Structure 1
Amino acid sequence: MIRTVTVSERTSPAQQSAPATLSTTRRPRTGLSALLLALLAICQLALVMPLHAADSVFTSTTAIKEEVVRFGGEGKLFMKGPVDPYLTGTVVTAGLFGLTYLFDEKIRDEFAGSHHGVMRGITDGANAVSNPLLHLGVAAAFYGAGAMTDQVKVMQLGEEMGEALLLADGATFVLKGVIGRGRPYQVDSSTSYRPLQFKDGYDSLPSMHTASSFALAHVVAAKTDNIYGKVACYAAAGLAGFSRVYQNKHWASDVVLGAAIGELAGAAVTRYRSAPAGSVTVAPMAIEGAPALALLGRF
């Protein structure tokens, strides 16, 4: 059972065109269309099934407050995760990032030129379905369908997806503008930066498509007991990252950091929800417009 104790203190992102070496012919995004149709089917199913008025952020202010507090706790775990408990993983990730950073330009050159055939089609599809906005739509569809049909597990899955995506996308959005690394189609050198200028074409590091894909993969894999299902989740996320490099949208090191952020975001959500009894966290919230602190824990 989750209990909250509140302590109130009252007080009075246009992508630049690709270089001539790349094909500029637009291709139909069949993968995106198929996924949109699937989302429509989920929503339609929810509309025709009986409504049970399950408590959700659409119908309950209490649910909204609980979501804010929970998200604050997950955010705290996300921020301290690189040191506690994933310090070893952070060191390994830093080493892998540094290694790929050294070879970014060589990796880009390996994939230079016009892309045709099966691999182009696969990476087109992977780029389409790894869109962060589409991921948020999937999370919202699951949450809405679960709330409308009183399927708590479905609603919670959408909830966890959304929380992980917001953490991953929010972190990468801020880092992109602060770091200001030039995208491989924009600059010749992988060390070209315009920090804090928030310019189009200088928002390469880290890859948001990759971060979003890995955040989603972690949450879904955590709900899957089958090892093949888990592998499929991460294979899809890995393909999304590869596609960003293959189609010259990102440097390889952008993808490495994006994957780490996405995995960290997903882990923060699943760790928070599986916290053992007796664990407590402090999170900011607001009560009737006044700033407050909330103690959230399992007792």
Structure 2
Amino acid sequence: MTRTGTVTGSTSPAQQSEPNLRTVSRRLLAGALPVLLLFWLAICQLVLVTPLYAAENVFTSVTAIKEEAGRFAGEGKLFLKGPVDPYLTGTFVTAGLFGLTYIFDEDIREEFSGSHHGVMRGITDAGNAVSNPLLHLGVAAAFYGTGAFTDQVKVMQLGEEMGEALLLADGATFVLKGVIGRGRPYQTDNNSSYRPFQFKDGYDSLPSMHTASSFALAHVAASKIDSFYGKAACYAAAGLGGFSRVYQGKHWASDVVLGAAIGELAGAAVTRYRSAPAGSVTVAPFSMDGAPAVALVGKF
């Protein structure tokens, strides 16, 4: 006598491991982000309620605020001039790369379309999380506040540079997103759907703010590191953020190319201004007794 039957619902170890890996990665992210947020809030609380003993800073000194405004104006000027002077060659290279990726935007989207699961989903979830512009601003604030509270001027200045680069990159991309009005990959069937000046949700694809913010932060961080591998790690993290935006259908590939260029330009404007030799000056607007005026700001 023979017995026959079927077994249903069985899965292979490989199939079982994929959701497990995704679950673990998401749990790690869910646990890490609140910790980072709490750390940031703790730093802000310390800064607001505790006397600061470092060099003059924007929390305690009106003079420091004025200096910061003048410095930021000078960096903004370098940022706006950068595509022509001194990065004209880089501008042409970026334009060529942007045009090339624009041609293949839809092919790249199709390549990454479909179900996302397993290790790559976990990696790109992490890339999306760590490339968040708000998180970057929190990191800059944490460095600045920690440096001010502990009398570590170099740490405070690092946070200062990060914040300035992020404001330039995020501000530029925010304006361009609304002005250009490009449809996101999940919003339109093609990469040439535009609704300029309408500031509509889903039509704010170009450029990628996550990528711009990541590269601005990477440039400033890398400028403080002597090791080649350390610098490469900074840019690898920024590149992961850009790749994750494309992989998960949040942006076209060309959005990421332009975002990376803007972020790099913003970071370079800050580090160039900081390293300018004595005698370098720029004109910055300010107010004197309520009346508009201009000032020469720089190193003398």
What TM-score, normalized to structure 1?
0.87
Residue 196 of structure 1 corresponds to 197
Q: Find the aligned partners of 1:86 and 1:193 in 2 and give their Cα distance.
A: 28
Q: Find the aligned partners of 2:136 and 2:27 in 1 and give their Cα distance.
A: 16
Which one is further off, 38-47 or 57-66?
38-47
- How has the CA–CA distance of structure 1 residues 32 and 208 changed in structure 2, closer, same or farther, with 3 Å as cutoff? farther
- How has the CA–CA distance of structure 1 residues 123 and 155 changed in structure 2, closer, same or farther, with 3 Å as cutoff? same
Residue 94 of structure 2 corresponds to 93
Maintained 8 Å contact 1:172/1:207: yes
CA drift at 1:56: 0.6
Which residues of 2 match residues 1-299 of structure 1 at below 5 A? 28=26, 30-31=28-29, 33-38=31-36, 40-41=38-39, 44=42, 47=46, 51-52=52-53, 54-299=55-300
Amino acid at match of 2:78: L
Deviations 1:243-284 (A, max 9, x none): 000000000000000000000000000000000122111111
Maintained 8 Å contact 2:26/2:122: no
Q: Find the aligned partners of 1:259 and 1:141 in 2 and give their Cα distance.
A: 24
Q: Find the aligned partners of 2:52 and 2:179 in 1 and give their Cα distance.
A: 45
CA drift at 1:29: 6.5
Identity of aligned residues (%): 80
Amino acid at match of 2:35: L
Which protein has the larger Cα radius of gyration, Structure 1 or Structure 2? 2
Amino acid at match of 1:284: P
Amino acid at match of 1:223: K
Maintained 8 Å contact 2:208/2:255: yes
Amino acid at match of 1:297: G
Larger helix fraction of residues: 2
CA drift at 1:129: 1.1
Corresponding residue pairs, total: 275
Maintained 8 Å contact 1:101/1:252: yes
Maintained 8 Å contact 1:132/1:209: yes
CA drift at 1:53: 5.2
Q: Find the aligned partners of 1:158 and 1:31 in 2 and give their Cα distance.
A: 24
Deviations 1:178-223 (A, max 9, x none): 0000000000010000000100000000000000000000000000
SS of equivalent to 1:199: coil
Superposition misfits of 4+ residues, deviation over 6 angstroms = none
Q: Find the aligned partners of 2:228 and 2:54 in 1 and give their Cα distance.
A: 35
Amino acid at match of 2:196: P
SS of equivalent to 1:83: coil
Q: Which runs of 5+ in 2 are unaligned?
A: 1-21
- How has the CA–CA distance of structure 1 residues 33 and 85 changed in structure 2, closer, same or farther, with 3 Å as cutoff? farther
Which one is further off, 173-182 or 277-286?
277-286
Q: Which runs of 5+ in 1 are unaligned?
A: 1-24
Maintained 8 Å contact 1:219/1:266: yes
What TM-score, normalized to structure 2?
0.87
Q: Find the aligned partners of 2:274 and 2:27 in 1 and give their Cα distance.
A: 36
Amino acid at match of 1:229: G
- How has the CA–CA distance of structure 1 residues 179 and 32 changed in structure 2, closer, same or farther, with 3 Å as cutoff? farther
Q: Find the aligned partners of 1:234 and 1:270 in 2 and give their Cα distance.
A: 16
